[in-house]
Amino acid sequence: MILENTAGLMRAGLASARFGSYAVLVCMGDTTAFVTSPDVGPDTYFDIASMGKALITAPLILRAVGEGRISLDDTLDRFFVIPECPDKETKKHITISQLLTHTSGIVRIPLSPEAAAKGNDALAEQIISNPLAYTPGTKYVYSCNAYILLGFIAEKIYGAPLDRLFEKYIKEPLGLTRSRFNIALDEPDAVISYRWREPGKYRVDDENVQIMGGIAGSGANFWTLRDIDVFCKAVMERSGKLWAPYLYDLAEKDYTPGAQFEEGRGLGWLVVDKRYTQTGRLFPEGSFGHCGHTGCSMYMSRERDLRVIILTNATRYANMANDFHGYDYGKIEKMREEIHNAIADDLGIN
């Protein structure tokens, strides 16, 4: 496998300051190839942003389902005291499945340092107290705060903090090497991915996760190309090291196929169909994966026995180009489409 078009596109992106660092890995069948910028190796840290939802939070929930600890139909009131607030009775009946598929009606709001200082229950109360954006199950709005609740649920089920759950149930069973929550501000062999001119107290590129001490179910953890590939390979093999094998088909099913939904969503996964453009010509309908706001993504196709990982810090560079006064995220979405199409050209996929 020769990634000539892909390598050329990535070199051009580096030269034009579209991003400052990158890694692209393509595996089709038994053949693997990758290209990286000069500063990046297989074990270089990237902030993978919301990819953490699919790499950590959803896997922990699916593991718990497979172990019989919870059901996808379990409701919010099993895990949290629902405060007096708008839509209280409706909120009681929001399901685990709706949280996983971003159809709960819970949307992102800024979390307060005061609530964070009081602990997870106070943060959950702040999230749940906010009015629902729509009746659960009727629409789709991508929701980091729904996944923060899922992270809290995983902690309640297993009786340990999220970072320890990751170590015990994902990192150790898969034999991952470096990936973790939180790294030092001056961590060696780590790409700068935060959007701001200077980092916050924590290196994560997310305001709410900053407030939560760098550990949250919504993502913003630090992974390497090597470790993400190990994870994706385990998914393609339907490994029981992650979750019960019977749950793979359920997780990869599209639960939001109707016209009222913007895109296909599985249990933790984005599911590719005609509504979705960022995978270009490379991935057929039914493929699945996830993006990270920093400029990263991972997608897999069982039909083509294909997995592709893209790691960049493109969102930081989009903001740098405007002297840190804002950016057009649509440019990062277009970048993903272009990279996937370059890979399709290299693989001879029309």
Nearest to 278 by CA among 343, 322, 222: 343
Nearest to 289 by CA among 247, 236, 217: 236
Are β-strands 264-265 and 31-36 bridged in parallel, bridged antiparallel, or unpaired?
unpaired
Give the mean model confidence (pLDDT) for residues 228-236: 98
- The residues that bridge with 24 in the sheet, in sequence order, are 35, 310
Give strand ranges (E) for 176-231. 222-223
Q: Supply the DSSP string of 168-190, one letter for each residue.
A: IIIIHHHT--S-BS---TT-SSB
Are β-strands 222-223 and 264-265 bridged in parallel, bridged antiparallel, or unpaired?
unpaired
pLDDT digits 0-9 by tens, 297-310: 999 999 999 999 99
Q: CB neighbours (10 Å) of residue 145?
A: 25
3-state helix, strand, coil in the chain (%, to 5): 40, 15, 50
- The residues that bridge with 27 in the sheet, in sequence order, are 32, 307
pLDDT at residue 337 greater than cutoff 90: yes
Q: How confident is the model at residue 331 (pLDDT cuts 50, 70, 90)?
A: very high
Distances (CA, A) of 328 to 299, 322, 333: 23, 10, 9
Phi and psi angles of residue 171, each rounded to the nearest 5 degrees, phi first: -65, -50
Residue 167 is given by DSSP the state I
pLDDT at 19: 98
CA angle, corner 42, sides to 37 and 46, nearest 5? 75
CA angle, corner 292, sides to 204 and 161, nearest 5? 50
CA distance linking residue 60 with residue 251, whole number of Å: 13
What is the reported pTM?
0.97
Cβ pair 128, 105 in contact under 8 A: no
Residue 343 CA to its chain's centroid (Å): 22
In the chain, % of residues over pLDDT 90: 98
Are β-strands 306-312 and 22-28 bridged in parallel, bridged antiparallel, or unpaired?
antiparallel
Give the mean model confidence (pLDDT) for residues 129-153: 97
- What is the pLDDT of the chain when averaged over all its residues? 97
Nearest to 236 by CA among 147, 305, 337, 319: 305
Q: How far apart are the first and last CA of the chain?
A: 16
pLDDT at residue 338 greater than cutoff 90: yes
Instruction: Tell the residue number behind the tokens 């939180």, with chain if given.
Output: 182
Q: Supply the DSSP string of 35-104, one letter for each residue.
A: EE-TT--TT-BEE-TTHHIIIIIHHHHHHHHHTTS--TT-BGGGTS---S-TTHHHHHT-BHHHHHTT-S
pLDDT at residue 260 greater than cutoff 90: no
Cβ pair 61, 146 in contact under 8 A: no
pLDDT digits 0-9 by tens, 78-112: 999 999 998 999 999 999 999 999 999 999 999 99
